[in-house]
Amino acid sequence: MNTTRTAEPRNDWPPLRVAKKALRRVFDLLERGAERLFTPALNPVAQLGTITFFLFWVVAVSGVYLFLFFDTGVVDAYSSVEWMSGAHWYHAGIMRSLHRYASDLMVVTMVLHLLREFSLDRYRGTRWFSWFTGVPLIWFLYVSGITGYWLVWDELAQYVAVVSAKLLDVFPVFGEPLARNFLTPEHLSDRFFSLLVFLHIAVPLILLLVMWIHIQRISRPKTNPPRLLAGLILAALVAVALWRPAVSQGPADLTKVPDEIGIDWFYLLLYPLAEDWGAWSLWVLLIGVSTILAAMPWLPPFRRAPAAEIDLPNCNGCNRCVEDCPYEAIRLVPRTDDEPFPHQAEVDADLCVSCGICMGSCPSSSPFRRQQDLKTGIDLPGQPLRQVRDEVVAASSGLHGDHRVMVLACEHGAGGGDVGNGVVTFPCVAMVPPSVIDFILSKDLADGVVVAGCSESTCYNRLGVEWTKQRFAGERDPYLRRRVPRERLTTIWASPFETGRYEAEKAAFAAGLEPSAKHKPAAGPDDARPGGDKTMEAQP
Ligand code: HEM
Ligand code: SF4
Ligand code: SF4
């Protein structure tokens, strides 16, 4: 069977749905290309936020270096920058170019990061926080860049100063027009330059603070790209700095209007519009777009799956779910019942995205447990463990022949839209405790199991692919028991656009399977690691 399926963004408003789908397609192509070029671990398209962080540090370090040689004064500013790019090009000049090009690249990676999160629909419900705090980041980054251009005090800086003054003059807070106060040869003072230097340092510091706030609701946020990737980016920036060093334009002269200036389109894209449309129109555009962006998490449709729930009698406060939750939604609190454990888990429903990863991590999540009402320490009300057990049993009844394959699929990956027999879908494959795979194979519900997740570098729930791999490798609790025959299990990491590869790998796996009706788990020690899992995993 080869069905064609594509990612179906959850947004229902048609124009947004179309935009998301198209963007997702573009990003998917980029991600696949980058995965092949760089390997999934180094894939830069999947690390845009991380790269933006790294670029911030490049800009900060090069900025501090430049500051050592920069003179704050109407005349001295220009000449000190010229000195850097001229006689001292080999250190200060290179740093200047790095400072500029890393800042430019930061705009690119930030905008791509925004578009990618949008295309993945990762801004709704409880994910609002990172999105909402991202909006001021755009403003702070732009203000940082614009004040930087102003400092050079060349013709471009003069243009930036004049247009910025026009923009700011629409607000009555400044009393007298800025253009008259500062931007005439008589008034332009060294003090004004000191103010600009202050702004150019203070605003990036606020940017850094907001960047830190931005990732506060994400557990184990990645803020550093892999070293090799960081090294490659730095090397590329140095190469561009040597090839096309950043230079100034002619010195500013407030008595003249510069004929022609080269604009930095990364930061000053909208400045020509301020002249063409007028300051008010540009403000309306900027504030309007920012407001819509900031409000997006609360625009309909409102769809919120119920948060994970703790079942206290089954929770021993082992901390695994706290460790595995990608959104900092669980914490341990003092025990409130008489069980002999010091802690119990507590879910903050406002932070939970209902990925189910916690259910997959809980030692009590075992389908083998012979309880009438199968419950686990932490369950997902929308698809509790008991239902998962029922679903795999029901899926098994649709499988026939000697190559019966059951698919445990993430709804965000290529398997998510599989309409074949024997497919059970989940919000994330890491929601499936490894004991479910043991259950399927040892109860002979299938001859083989395919765990089909998102693409390797783009896990919708951030950490699901990583945790699943570690559990299967015996590196993370709850691990996949050694008795599970590995030749009967395969993983397929594929995006919703890679259905062809998904189907081909699934078919190849099925074809290579030995019929397992007679398969019996090998007797003997079960544990993949010495000591094994002694917490509360129930025995079959
Ligand atoms: C200076 C600019 C920015 C930096 C340095 C930055 C950095 C980051 C980092 C490091 C992460 C965590 C990645 C991870 O470990 O999974 C992240 C997540 C996120 N960012 Fe940004 N970001 C920036 C701007 C923005 C903007 C402008 C938006 C959108 C308005 C945005 C939206 C998001 C969202 C929605 C997430 C969370 C994704 C999830 O729920 O998994 N970011 N960002
Ligand atoms: S379902 Fe569990 S792991 Fe996922 S966000 Fe909610 S509490 Fe965290
Ligand atoms: S993983 Fe399960 S037992 Fe451990 S703290 Fe979380 S809910 Fe409790």
Phi-psi region of 263 (alpha: psi -120 to 50; beta: other; left: phi over 0): beta
Check if 294 has its Cβ closer than 6 Å to any atom of ligand 1. Answer: no
pLDDT of residue 457: 87
| Per-residue pLDDT reduced to its tens digit, 360-384 | 999 999 999 876 678 899 999 999 9
Nearest-CA residue for ligand 2 atom 5 is 352
Is residue 534's pLDDT more than 90? no
Residue 346 pairs in a beta bridge with 331
Pocket of ligand 3 (CB under 6 A): 310, 315-321, 345, 361-364, 377-378
- Cα of 331 vs its chain's centroid, Å: 22
- Asked whether the beta carbons of 378 and 311 are under 8 A apart, the reply is yes
Distance 300 CA to ligand 1 centre (A): 22
- Asked whether the beta carbons of 3 and 419 are under 8 A apart, the reply is yes
Ligand whose nearest atom lies closest to the CA of 463: 1
pLDDT of residue 142: 97
**Tokens describing residue 5:** 């399926």
User: Relative to the CA of 428, which ligand 2 atom is closest?
Assistant: 4
Q: Give the confidence band of 16 by pLDDT, cuts at 50, 70, 90.
A: confident
Nearest-CA residue for ligand 2 atom 6 is 352
pLDDT of residue 512: 92
Give mean pLDDT, residues 161-182: 76
pLDDT of residue 202: 97
> What is the rounded average pLDDT for all residues in the chain?
89
Using the CB atoms, write b or e for 290-323: b if 16+ within 10 Å. Answer: eeebbebbeeeeeeebebbbbbeebbbbbebbbe
Q: Give the confidence band of 175 by pLDDT, cuts at 50, 70, 90.
A: low
Is residue 248's pLDDT more than 50? yes
Give mean pLDDT, residues 101-108: 98
Per DSSP, the three-state class of 475 is coil
Nearest-CA residue for ligand 2 atom 8 is 325
pLDDT of residue 519: 46
| Per-residue pLDDT reduced to its tens digit, 466-487 | 999 999 999 999 999 999 999 9
Give mean pLDDT, residues 129-152: 96
pLDDT of residue 177: 67
What's the Cα-to-Cα distance from 289 to each of 48, 164, 284, 293, 491, rounded to whole Å? 22, 19, 8, 6, 42
Is residue 214's pLDDT more than 50? yes
User: Relative to the CA of 328, which ligand 2 atom is closest?
Assistant: 8
Is residue 168's pLDDT more than 50? yes
Check if 219 has its Cβ closer than 6 Å to any atom of ligand 1. Answer: no
pLDDT of residue 516: 66
pLDDT of residue 528: 37
pLDDT of residue 517: 53
Give the predicted TM-score (pTM) of the model: 0.90
Of 257, 240, 290, 307, which Cα lies nearest the Cα of 103? 240
User: Relative to the CA of 357, which ligand 2 atom is closest?
Assistant: 3
Residue 310 pairs in a beta bridge with 378
Nearest-CA residue for ligand 3 atom 5 is 317
Check if 49 has its Cβ closer than 6 Å to any atom of ligand 1. Answer: yes
User: Relative to the CA of 353, which ligand 1 atom is closest?
Assistant: 40
pLDDT of residue 529: 37
Which carries the bigger pLDDT value, residue 161 or residue 304? 161
Which carries the bigger pLDDT value, residue 189 or residue 260? 260
Phi-psi region of 220 (alpha: psi -120 to 50; beta: other; left: phi over 0): left
Per DSSP, the three-state class of 300 is coil
Is residue 75's pLDDT more than 50? yes
User: Relative to the CA of 345, which ligand 3 atom is closest?
Assistant: 5
Using the CB atoms, write b or e for 105-126: b if 16+ within 10 Å. Answer: bbbebbebbbbbbbbbbbbbbb
pLDDT of residue 183: 65
Most confidently modeled of 112-116, 265-269, 299-303? 112-116
pLDDT of residue 174: 65
Nearest-CA residue for ligand 3 atom 6 is 321
pLDDT of residue 432: 97
Nearest-CA residue for ligand 1 atom 25 is 134
Is residue 520's pLDDT more than 80? no
pLDDT of residue 85: 92
Ranges 18-22, 248-252, 432-436: which has the least confidence? 248-252
User: Relative to the CA of 127, which ligand 1 atom is closest?
Assistant: 40
Is residue 533's pLDDT more than 80? no
Ranges 166-180, 198-212, 227-241, 267-281: which has the least confidence? 166-180
| Per-residue pLDDT reduced to its tens digit, 379-396 | 999 999 999 999 999 999
Give mean pLDDT, residues 448-458: 94
Give mean pLDDT, residues 411-431: 93
Distance 131 CA to ligand 1 centre (A): 7
Is residue 123's pLDDT more than 50? yes
Percent of the chain with pLDDT over 90: 71
* Dihedral sign from CA coordinates of 280, 285, 290, 295: positive
Of 216, 209, 38, 70, which Cα lies nearest the Cα of 150? 70
Ranges 13-17, 132-136, 495-499: which has the least confidence? 13-17
What is the C-alpha to C-alpha distance for residues 193 and 189, in angstroms, rounded to an integer? 7
Of 452, 479, 458, 450, which Cα lies nearest the Cα of 537? 479
| Per-residue pLDDT reduced to its tens digit, 108-120 | 999 999 999 999 9
Nearest-CA residue for ligand 1 atom 11 is 49
Is residue 172's pLDDT more than 80? no
Distance 261 CA to ligand 3 centre (A): 63
DSSP 92: I
